[in-house]
């Protein structure tokens, strides 16, 4: 109910803004959700005026402003600030393959871009027409290929149910993951400089309004530092631990920067790629579930990362050592199983390397037995849990 009220408030504000900006629509949510219930989906559909034959049959849909670009490869919608694949995938596929299809688009720099992704439910519904078009009878503008009758979104109701948009009939629905194959139409957001001025204004204002939503009502994606840092001092570590409210137990080696009152990071984990990988929806990070089987020196850890990328572990070749911030997001305030890390992870790796160094001869590591971080000689031998 709290989320519904906040959504109504934001929707009311955006309606006022839209009236001042010549029928422009605010940019829609681009971060996927994994707890999008049917009730919340219907509230969103009604709020945005989307057409859905079952959930909002009187919805008028979006007044899109399309342009075909990149030699017919993409369709740009200046109303929403989105760039779409014009054709989409040539065949339908299950969600695990859909993820690889997106990766392949980015690998080949499709249409000159490498930030393609699955659309959220809002984004996919933004191109739904309220009447059948001269496009094989689909509820989608003829500017798009008519082969993709239904497409997968990045949203889920629960871990086992994913949202699909059906342009053939004009509605959206959930389907069990892995039970139904769909087409894929990838999307990306236009750079601000490519957007009309009124859409840029709405983007900025919509960002401000989203801040009035409580933490529990919006995706908790944080942009944690991903670049390694040399000469990371204990004082700096203390500052970052308090900044993110990480839990760090007060031990002999961590007294200078401990934070035993820290609440820990609000992770939202899910298994991926047959359990090889754990995705944290809160941080946006992909983690190895099991990590290295053996302890390694810092130099050996770098070679291990190179090996993961060489074999494209779990289908990716951009694995790396985590920064201290990233590794500390895994520390739990209380012991969950054998260690102070979620039991979804292999419990063998009590200590892991980070990419950050404190001196030329020492690097930072995170330990999960007590729940803290520590400086270690580069010749020491923690485990390695890669991240991307």
Task: Assess if residue 239 is contained within a domain.
Answer: yes
Sequence-distant (≥ 6) Cβ neighbours of residue 161 within 8 angstroms: 174, 175, 176, 177
Residues 168 and 88 in one domain: yes
Predicted confidence at residue 220, as pLDDT, reads 42
pLDDT digits (tens, 9 = 90+) for 30-48: 888 888 889 889 988 988 8
Sequence-distant (≥ 6) Cβ neighbours of residue 124 within 8 angstroms: 151, 153, 165, 172, 185
pLDDT digits (tens, 9 = 90+) for 134-188: 878 999 999 999 999 999 999 998 888 999 999 999 999 999 987 788 999 999 9
Strands (E) in the chain, as ranges, are: 66-69, 74-77, 82-85, 150-158, 161-166, 171-176, 187-189, 269-272, 277-280, 285-288, 351-357, 362-367, 372-377
Task: Assess if residue 225 is contained within a domain.
Answer: no
Domain closes at, from 188, 217, 246: 217
Residues 188 and 245 in one domain: no
Task: Assess if residue 226 is contained within a domain.
Answer: no
Task: Assess if residue 365 is contained within a domain.
Answer: yes
- The half-sphere exposure of 299 on its side-chain side, counting CA atoms within 13 A, is 4
By residue count, the chain amounts to 388
Q: State how far the Cα of 200 lies from the Cα of 189, in Å rounded to an integer.
A: 12
Task: Assess if residue 223 is contained within a domain.
Answer: no
Q: How many domains does the chain have?
A: 2
Residue range of the domain that includes 246: 234-377
Task: Assess if residue 355 is contained within a domain.
Answer: yes
What phi, psi does 156 have (nearest 5°)?
A: -130, 155
Residues 192 and 329 in one domain: no
Residues 195 and 299 in one domain: no
Alpha helix locations (H) across the chain? 2-20, 38-48, 95-107, 121-125, 197-210, 234-243, 298-310, 324-328
The CA radius of gyration of the chain, in Å to the nearest whole number, is: 23
Task: Tell me the average pLDDT across 93-99.
Answer: 88
What's the pTM value of the predicted model, to 2 decimals?
0.48
Average pLDDT over the chain reads: 83
> Maximum CA pair distance of the chain?
72
């Amino acid at each position: 109910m709290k989320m519904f009220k906040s959504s109504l408030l934001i929707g009311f504000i955006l309606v006022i803004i839209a009236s001042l900006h010549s029928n422009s629509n605010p940019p829609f949510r681009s971060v996927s959700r994994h707890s999008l219930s049917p009730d919340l989906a219907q509230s969103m559909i009604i709020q945005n005026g989307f057409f859905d034959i079952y959930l909002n049959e009187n919805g008028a849909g979006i007044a899109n402003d399309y342009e075909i670009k990149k030699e017919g490869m993409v369709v740009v919608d200046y109303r929403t600030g989105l760039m779409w694949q014009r054709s989409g995938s040539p065949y339908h596929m299950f969600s695990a393959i859909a993820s690889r299809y997106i990766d392949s688009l980015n690998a080949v720099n499709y249409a000159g871009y490498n930030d393609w992704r699955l659309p959220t439910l809002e984004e996919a519904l933004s191109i739904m027409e309220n009447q059948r078009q001269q496009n094989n009878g689909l509820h989608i503008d003829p500017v798009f290929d008519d082969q993709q009758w239904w497409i997968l979104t990045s949203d889920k109701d629960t871990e086992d149910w994913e949202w699909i948009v059906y342009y053939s009939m004009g509605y959206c629905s959930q389907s069990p993951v892995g039970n139904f194959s769909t087409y894929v139409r990838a999307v990306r957001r236009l750079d601000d400089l490519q957007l009309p001025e009124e859409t840029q204004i709405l983007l900025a204002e919509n960002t401000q309004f989203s801040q009035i939503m409580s933490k529990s009502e919006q995706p908790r994606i944080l942009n944690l530092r991903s670049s390694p840092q040399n000469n990371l001092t204990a004082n700096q570590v203390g500052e970052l631990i308090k900044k993110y409210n990480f839990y760090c137990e007060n031990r002999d080696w961590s007294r200078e920067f401990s934070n035993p009152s820290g609440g820990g990071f609000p992770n939202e984990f899910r298994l991926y790629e047959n359990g090889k990988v754990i995705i944290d929806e809160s941080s946006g990070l992909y983690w190895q579930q099991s990590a290295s089987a053996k302890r390694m020196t810092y130099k050996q850890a770098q070679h291990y990362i190179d090996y993961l990328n060489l074999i494209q572990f779990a289908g990716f070749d951009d694995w790396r050592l985590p920064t201290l911030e990233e590794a500390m997001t895994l520390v739990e305030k209380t012991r969950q199983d054998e260690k102070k890390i979620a039991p979804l992870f292999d419990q063998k790796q009590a200590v892991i390397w980070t990419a950050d160094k404190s001196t030329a001869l020492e690097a930072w590591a995170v330990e999960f037995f007590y729940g803290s971080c520590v400086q270690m000689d580069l010749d020491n031998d923690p485990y390695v849990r890669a991240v991307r």
